Amino acid sequence: DAGVIQSPRHEVTEMGQEVTLRCKPISGHDYLFWYRQTMMRGLELLIYFNNNVPIDDSGMPEDRFSAKMPNASFSTLKIQPSEPRDSAVYFCASNQLAAEQFFGPGTRLTVL
Amino acid sequence: GDSVTQMEGPVTLSEEAFLTINCTYTATGYPSLFWYVQYPGEGLQLLLKATKADDKGSNKGFEATYRKETTSFHLEKGSVQVSDSAVYFCALSDNTGANSKLTFGKGITLSVRP
């Protein structure tokens, strides 16, 4: 298995632009998680899905952030409009119920 | 709410030195405890875990024991290698609900010199 796939690996954009991060979970995993990693705040859970349905989005920082999972093999995290404080590494992870979470390589986002 | 506290870093050691990375937690109930490792340019990988008090998790020469009385899960390795240079995260899962969320510590960077 290829593991969790994220794209792009690096994204540089200007303040105010829309940013879309993509994730393909491991086949057969029915949970998908989005995390954000910064020096100041460490690793934070933003949202997670079960069978494509959002279960807990209490970590989403504000309305500028949205996440979707249209099918079992694809999820997006969108930031619109982006701000410099959104600069971080964004990780996607997936698992089966109560099993180990497998992380993708992350997307490093820089908002200028 | 649940929280995980890791010792401040970074940590720099010489090859073959003994490693201890401290981790303490606050949680209600009986959490499961984890150590994850992040190598440069990669995502996090599970290193080891323990699901109940006094359990010892071990992998790749690393060990950690779930100490309920001190709410700790310190990571140790007897002889580190250059290849152990990475960021290490302590985490807990509260074991409630259908699929428990992970709460992470801030991570600590370990650099091992040849």
Q: What is the pLDDT of residues A7-64, one digit of tens each?
A: 999 999 999 999 999 999 999 999 999 999 998 888 899 999 999 999 999 999 889 9
The yes-or-no verdict on residue A100 having pLDDT over 60 is: yes
Phi then psi dihedrals of residue B27, to 5 deg = -160, 150
The answer to whether the CB atoms of B99 and A48 lie below 8 A apart is: yes
B73 band by pLDDT with thresholds 50, 70 and 90: very high
Which of B41, B100, B107 lies closest to A42 in CB terms?
Answer: B107
Q: Report chain B residues whose CB lies below 8 A from the CB of A100.
A: 46, 49
Residue matched to tokens 């404080």: A85
pLDDT at A31: 92
Percent of chain A with pLDDT over 90: 81
CB pairs under 8 A between A and B: 42
Average pLDDT over residues B7-31: 93
Instruction: Give the residue from B4, B44, B108 with the most A CB atoms within 10 Å of its CB, the best one to mutate.
Output: B44
B24 band by pLDDT with thresholds 50, 70 and 90: very high
Strand A31-38 and strand A42-50: the pairing is: antiparallel
B41 band by pLDDT with thresholds 50, 70 and 90: confident
The answer to whether the CB atoms of A103 and B44 lie below 8 A apart is: yes
Q: Report chain B residues whose CB lies below 8 A from the CB of A97.
A: 98-99
The answer to whether the CB atoms of B44 and A50 lie below 8 A apart is: no
Give the residue on B whose Cα is nearest the Cα of A49: B99
Cis preceding linkage at B114, omega within 30: no
Average pLDDT over residues A83-96: 95
Cis preceding linkage at A25, omega within 30: no
Collect contacts of B61-65 with beta carbons under 8 A, ≥24 apart: B62/B35, B64/B23, B64/B33, B64/B35
Give the residue on A whose Cα is nearest the Cα of B39: A105
Give SS3 for B39. coil
Judged by a CB distance cut-off of 8 A, whether residue B104 touches chain A is: yes
The answer to whether the CB atoms of A42 and B44 lie below 8 A apart is: no
Phi then psi dihedrals of residue B83, to 5 deg = -70, -10
B100 vs A74: which has the higher pLDDT: A74
Instruction: Quote the CA–CA distance of A112 and B19 in Å, as a whole number.
Output: 39
B103 vs A87: which has the higher pLDDT: A87
Q: Which candidate, B81, B79, B91, places its Cα nearest to that of B27?
A: B91
Instruction: With beta carbons less than 8 A apart as the criterion, state whether A34 and A55 touch.
Output: no
Instruction: Quote the CA–CA distance of B73 and B89 in Å, as a whole number.
Output: 11
Instruction: Render pLDDT for B77-99 as a digit per residue (tens, 0 to 9).
Output: 999 999 999 999 999 987 665 56
CB atoms closer than 10 angstroms to residue A80? 13
pLDDT at B30: 83
Judged by a CB distance cut-off of 8 A, whether residue A103 touches chain B is: yes
CB atoms closer than 10 angstroms to residue B13? 16
pLDDT at A2: 80
The yes-or-no verdict on residue A92 having pLDDT over 90 is: yes
Write the CB contacts of B86 (distance below 8 Å, at least 6 apart in sequence). Answer: B37, B38, B39, B40, B109, B110
